[in-house]
Structure 1
Amino acid sequence: MKNYVDSLSLYKDKLLYILLFGVTIAFPLFFINQFVSTFYYNLFATVGVSELGSYPQFIFSTITIFISQIPFIYLVKSKLIEEETSISEGYRVFFEHMLPVYVVGAIIAILVTLGTVLFIVPGLILLMLFILYPYVVVFEGESWFNGLKRAFQVGKTRLFQVMGVTMLLSILTMLMNFVTLFLSLYTLDNLFLINIIQLVFNMFILPYLTFVVGHYYYDWEVY
């Protein structure tokens, strides 16, 4: 419970940073992901296999979340190691780590998708084993293959803890997303605005989720 309270406190303390990184990094990435995912879903739907459209959606969403977390992982890391934060350093960290997180995130997402297609449990296990990759990159400075190897070590050692935290945060996020969507549908009839509201909501919730996981990662593996 302490990690959730501490994350809320950090959220309030770094609200201006969150808004800036959210508007300039997270929201544009979410918007692009929404556009690309919808395009591929509709593409599959036109040939009568719309159910297959969920796979590219998952791949692009995973990559987007991995990349979008980078500046917020920087914020929680700086707080935990008592390092001064700056906007310029946040952007530097983002652009320094964006490429390896993008490439490795794509590989992880594709492997998880293949595992899910073959049998759902291997896909979920693969996701849990490597889901901490962006945290390894930012917290420990390990990227590419070394980061992937390190993420696997952490995921394997902390598999059940990772699953527990991920499931809890996923349930909370889904519930809040459902409430937001319900209120949007109830009050608006413009689909574009409804989608924008969902993206803005995700922009605001992602930093908190990242802070929570960052606190756990710090407790588990770093210092």
Structure 2
Amino acid sequence: MAFRIFPEDEQVIELLVHMSQCVTTSVDLLAEHLSAADDRTGETLQALLDTEDECSNLYFSLMTTTRSSYVVPIPRQDLYILGQWILKSVEALVACAETQQLYKIDRPTSHATEQLNVIRLMSEMTSKAMGRLATLDELDDYWFEMIRLSRQSERTHRTYRASLLDKHKAPHAIRRMDAADRLLDASRALGHVSAEVGRVLVSES
């Protein structure tokens, strides 16, 4: 084992885990928002905005901790990229809720529910993976499973768009597709997280 004058600062790992948990919280809040009665949507949207703020603050803490630490478990630029994509996933989920609110879209379809289930699973796997970055243990399986889930999300999105165009007139379909695109943005952001983890595995092996 290599001797280090300064121990690794694993606080950065904890911050990434907490950021990933913000994604899971956002998925749950978005699911609640999409099915909430009209008099509760303001409350659920505010909870989503608060979670977005929390994730942004965690990202700021990640950056300041990374810059001030002598030794971090993985390269500093990788920590920046991982945090950036996790935050983008939260932002996309919040944007979906805001789009739903602005366009006054009624209850979501089964395709939206399926997408949320996939994103939640991706977020849970990402939280566990972030906790393993210090050792890089069992991350190969995470990376491979995230590829599968990303493909599932892309297929669901294509089916979702086709269904909207088939069942709704163009203006209404476009509004719904705007919200659907934000869900895809969230899953793609998590896919970028796993791709970055794969790159770290290759470069650190």
Q: TM-score, normalised by structure 2?
A: 0.32
Look at both structures and tell me which one has the larger radius of gyration over its CA atoms: 2
Bigger helix share: 1
Q: TM-score, normalised by structure 1?
A: 0.30
